[in-house]
Amino acid sequence: MRPNIKIVPALAALASTGVCAASLNDVCTSAFARTALPSPSFYQGITIDNSSIVATAVYNTSVSAQVMFPDATFDYCNITFTYSHDGRDDKVALSYWLPAPKNFKHRFLSTGGGGYLISSGSGSLPGGVMYGAVAGTTDAGFGSLTTNFNEVYLLANGTPNYQNLYMFGYQAIHEMSVLGKEFTRLFYEMNQTKLYSYYQGKSSLHVPAKMQTDHSIGCSEGGRDGWSQIQRFADQWDGAVVGAPAFRFAFQQVQHAYSDIVEQTMNYFPPPCELEKILNETTKACDSLDGKVDGVVARTDLCKIHFDISDIIGTPYSCAAASVPMSFPSHPAWPAQNGTVSAKGVAVAEKIIEGLRDSKGRQVYLSYQPSAQFVDAFTQYNVNTSEFELWPSDFAAAFVLPFLQQANQTSFDNLTGVTYDTLKDWIYQGWQEYADTLHTTWPDLTPFHEAGGKILHYHGESDFSIPTASSVHYRESVRKVMYPHLSYNASNNALNDWYRLYLIPGAGHCDVNPYQPNGPFPQTNLAVLIDWVEKGKKPETLNSTVLQGEHLGENRQVCAWPLRPRWRGGGEMECEYDQRSVDQWQVELDAFKMPVY
Ligand code: CA
């Protein structure tokens, strides 16, 4: 039974025709939407504010030029309502976009956030509506869809808000999904019809400084959000798209400071132009190793094996003056830079790619692949000294200061005294303190698998913000934990039946990459996942599209891990197995006695 039904004329009309035959205009009213709210007993501990519901019909909305879904035009009903947790004086705002009844295809899509946001506003919701799914997002009770979690974690210096931590960790998206699915069933009068349930999140524009604009979906924090659901609420999902997840949270956030500590330890602060030259020369040198000269390093593993960055010492570089390529308007512009690639510059680059090791030489964490931009290593220009100097990572600060030191501050004053061992200590502390909320690498996915779930996991091979190897490392953990008695090949085959990982050649962080414009991006991921779940069409290779440059619009296919792309003579791509390459991706993190999943 639906609670609180009041018969109004529009509802009376619906009663005779049914929702499926109704127009968007008929059903997209607050009065009708109120009749579809889950009953008070539906979710223990949650009380929906029935008076808060607002429904607004929106017609002929167009989205275009998105990397995570194709162009589309559609109508939808925008419905918002709030709920509170019993016994706690809070208010959580939910937002759902519902397709017109005739376009509803019995699908629900949960979405997540990016950076420190649990939501991407309405940015990811079109990606569901265009496929006939109700798409939802939540503010987690943080005050707005654009409130950063790290800014509401501390009630005061020294006083964490653990409720907000759990909401960000996994609780908010779970509640939004469970309530949203029930609301969907009631709204469209689905009765016993199967409601397919998917996850795809989104990163957002609201990211801290020293971080490039990021308009990704189902990626980064949105990817971690997805894993937080798959790992805990196995039977809630038919499938999930997760991209470049920001999981292994303490490792991930602290490693943003690693490039800074490399520079500080080596006492060399390379001009950005020098690092860009190293990047461009690396890309040029490694392009052909995949068998196809197209400006795309599709095999960064071969690049690691065969290319010695020191070969480019002495190469001249030159850059015009430029504003800092990030959302940090108060930051001084970079002046024109001219010089030659130095031994010190190369040493910094090599050390960054090697990844964090402690003072005993033991590997603490993974790093970016060669051909990824050196964003974490950007230095800042001091107009007083006319020198480049350290620019401490705000991403690392946004974790270390509030979460480890419980200080309500989002930038480091300095990194004086911080060493590789300090970074290791920060990681260990953060790993322990947030193991059950933010870490998000639980490797046993048996319940999800047994419930029939499918995972499409992807990661840009030239990601500059979350190491590509971080995704490989997790998938390896899942493989080893779930199939301990199978051979490498047999376990990969078993896993690939339901959890597939694709490394996207040339792609940056959840986005196309201006340095490798001919690389593809998997723009149709949700469509691919839907076909896999609903039609059993397993994506042997991942459908992708070139989204910029001279090959704009061309289709590409991406190999599934552990196979790697290789073009031979005739130009056809094959997905090959190459043990030496696979070994490049698998780094033992021997600085810790605990297994790092
Ligand atoms: Ca190439």
Q: Which one of the listed residues 120, 220, 471, 477 is annotated catalytic?
A: 220
Say what the pLDDT of residue 4 is: 45
Tell me 336's DSSP state.
Answer: P
Residue 475: name the closest of 505, 510, 506, 502 by CA.
Answer: 502
pLDDT at 95: 98
Question: Burial level of 530, CB count in 10 A (0-12/13-18/19+)?
Answer: buried
Active site residue 120: no
Give residue 225 CA to ligand 1 midpoint distance, Å: 32
CA 154 / ligand 1 centre spacing (Å): 47
Q: Which residues contact 571 (CB under 8 A, 6 or more apart)?
A: 292
- Catalytic residue from among 463, 477, 544, 581: 463
Other beta carbons within 10 angstroms of residue 353's beta carbon come to 20
What is the predicted pLDDT for the residue at 16? 58
Using a CB cutoff of 5 Å, list residues around ligand 1, an ion.
287, 290, 292, 294, 296
Residue 565 Cα to ligand 1 middle (Å): 10
Give the span between the Cα atoms of 150 and 139, in whole angstroms.
14
* Active-site residue flag, 220: yes
Query: What is the CA 303 to chain-centroid distance, rounded?
Result: 25
CA of 462 to the centre of ligand 1 (A): 13
Is 509 among the catalytic positions?
Answer: yes
Whether pTM > 0.85 for this model: the answer is: yes
Q: Could you tell me the two tokens for 209?
A: 């400084």
Token pair for residue 187?
């709204």
Contacts 24+ apart (CB under 8 A), 190-197: 190/106, 193/106, 194/106, 195/106, 195/107, 195/108, 196/106, 196/107, 196/108, 196/133, 196/238, 196/239, 196/530, 196/533, 196/534, 197/107, 197/108, 197/110, 197/236, 197/237, 197/238
Q: What is the pLDDT of residue 20?
A: 80
Half-sphere exposure of 589 (CA within 13 A, CB side): 23
CA 371 to ligand 1 centroid distance, Å:
11
The full set of domain ranges for the chain reads 9-247+440-460, 254-435
581: CA distance to ligand 1 center in Å?
16
409: CA distance to ligand 1 center in Å? 43
pLDDT of residue 218: 63
Q: Please identify which of the residues 215, 290, 509, 581 carries the catalytic annotation.
A: 509
Q: In tens digits, what is the pLDDT along the chain, a chain of 597 residues? A: 444 444 455 555 565 567 888 999 999 999 999 999 999 999 999 999 999 999 999 999 999 999 999 999 999 999 999 999 999 999 999 999 999 999 999 999 999 998 899 998 888 999 999 999 999 999 999 999 999 999 999 999 999 999 999 999 999 999 999 999 999 999 999 989 999 999 996 543 333 334 433 444 567 899 999 999 999 999 999 999 999 999 999 999 999 999 999 999 999 999 999 999 999 999 999 999 999 999 999 999 999 999 999 999 999 999 999 888 765 556 788 999 999 999 999 999 999 999 999 999 999 999 999 999 999 999 999 999 999 999 999 999 999 999 999 999 989 999 999 999 999 999 999 999 999 999 999 999 999 999 999 999 999 999 999 999 999 999 999 999 999 999 999 999 999 999 999 999 999 999 999 999 999 999 999 999 999 999 999 999 999 999 999 999 999 999 999 999 999 987 899 999 999 999 999 999 999 999 999
Q: Tell me, what's the pLDDT at 333?
A: 87
Please tell me the predicted confidence (pLDDT) of residue 220.
Answer: 85
Say how many Å lie between the CA of residue 463 and the centre of ligand 1. 16
CB 311 within 8 A of CB 286: no
What's the CATH code, domain 9-247+440-460?
Answer: 3.40.50
- Cα of first residue to Cα of last residue in the chain, in angstroms, is 45
Dist. CA 288 → ligand 1 center (Å) = 5
* pLDDT at 122 (0 to 100): 87
Please report the sign of the dihedral spanned by the C-alpha atoms of residue 417, residue 423, residue 424, residue 430.
Answer: positive
* Cβ-contact 392, 376 below 8 angstroms: no
